[in-house]
Structure 1
Amino acid sequence: MMASLKRWINDVAQQEDASSGVDLSLATAVLLCEVIRADYRLDDSEIHLMRSQLKEQFELEDEALDELMTLAREEAEGAVDHHRFVRELRDRTGYQDRVALVQQMWALAFADGEKDALEEHRIRALAELLHVSHSDFVRTRIVEQNRAEGV
């Protein structure tokens, strides 16, 4: 009896582990959505850049991209926290991919021509959760700030 109960518990735990995985494109889109929502203004330039980033990174057709953008917005607006998305990215991507994601976040922050303190705060918090070093956080900010200023 105990053995069968133990086996059942293990089976349920394995099913939960297998189903808890979040698609990396969705996890990425949700975090990018968090950045563009940070200043409580959705600027068309930010949305356009986010679409472009996701389309290029994940090689998506327009229909799949529309679906991803909608789902990301819903997740970003409805989730209590975003740790499951952060955890998936942290656990399933390499360090350089996470640094590249932080750089994408900075590009979004500068897309509307101004860096908002709320956007910077959100990017800083996400970079820390993604275990991106402070030096890479600063370096990616400088790269994108220079790009935005045309330097």
Structure 2
Amino acid sequence: MMIKRLKQWLTLVPREQVLPPEQEVAVAALLSEVMMADGEAGDDESARLEVLLGRLFNQPREQVHEWLQQGRAKQEEAVSLYEFTSRLKALPVTEREAILLALWHMALADGRLDPQEEAIVRQVADLLYIPHSRFIWLKHRAEGELDGE
């Protein structure tokens, strides 16, 4: 059921456009940042992170692992989220919203929304020029999809 729901919301991202590797690594770093925000990254969250990246970019597990390693290395060096979002803000709005929805799914992966996770998603939404109304709509959509699992 979860995979079916992920496929539904991932249709927001046009499959024919392949992002440059630095953008994919930036998304991996942002998802990892949300996962680590509450200081508790369990196996279920790590698995969800891999699924989200694999489905978002329609890539095999090996490629996802490479992005995660690169993303985590960049995340440790980064001083702000801007270092990642600056690579993504020129994307079409549908792709930016798909990324934000993935961040919401990551934030909700453990069944609860930590205030620090929400703060990161909010900051990313602002840096990607996603209006607050869409930010809230995407949050409710992710919560609804979580309830439907």
TM-score (norm 2): 0.80
Contact 2:81 2:124 (8 Å CA) reproduced: no
Partner of 1:119: 117
Unpaired stretches in structure 2, ≥5 consecutive residues: 1-19
2:126 pairs with 1:128: yes
The structural deviation recorded for 1:39 is: 0.9
Residues 109 and 116 of structure 1 are in contact (CA less than 8 Å); yes or no, is this contact kept in structure 2? yes
1:70 counterpart SS class: helix
Distance, in Å, in 2 between the alignment partners of 1:99 and 1:36 is: 18
Greater than 3 Å deviation, 4+ residue runs: none
Alignment map for 1:97-116 (pairs within 5 Å): 97-116=95-114
Q: Does 1:32 align with 2:37?
A: no
Does the 8 Å contact 2:125/2:135 carry over to 1? yes
**Higher helix proportion, which one?**
1
Q: Decide whether aligned partners of structure 1 residues 84 and 78 sit closer, same or farther in structure 2, where only a CA change above 3 A counts.
A: closer
User: Matches of residues 79-98 of structure 1 in structure 2 within 5 Å?
Assistant: 79-91=78-90, 93-98=91-96
Cα root mean square deviation, aligned: 1.7
**1:32-64 deviations in whole A, cap 9, x for unaligned?**
111111111112222111111111222322222
Equivalent positions of 1:1-150 (< 5 A) are 23-91=22-90, 93-150=91-148
Provide the C-alpha distance between the structure 2 equivalents of 1:102 and 1:82, rounded to a whole number of angstroms: 13
Letter in 2 for 1:52: V
TM-score (normalizing by structure 1)? 0.79
SS at match of 1:88: coil
Paired with 1:135 and 1:82, the residues of 2 have a C-alpha distance of 21
Q: 1:144, 1:61 → 2: CA distance?
A: 24
Q: Identity, % of aligned pairs? A: 29
Contact between 1:22 and 1:85, CA under 8 Å: does it hold in 2? no
Cα distance in 2 for residues equivalent to 1:60 and 1:149: 27
Show the counterpart of 2:6. Answer: none
- Measured after TM superposition, the shift of residue 129 of structure 1 is 0.6
Q: CA deviation at 1:22?
A: 6.4
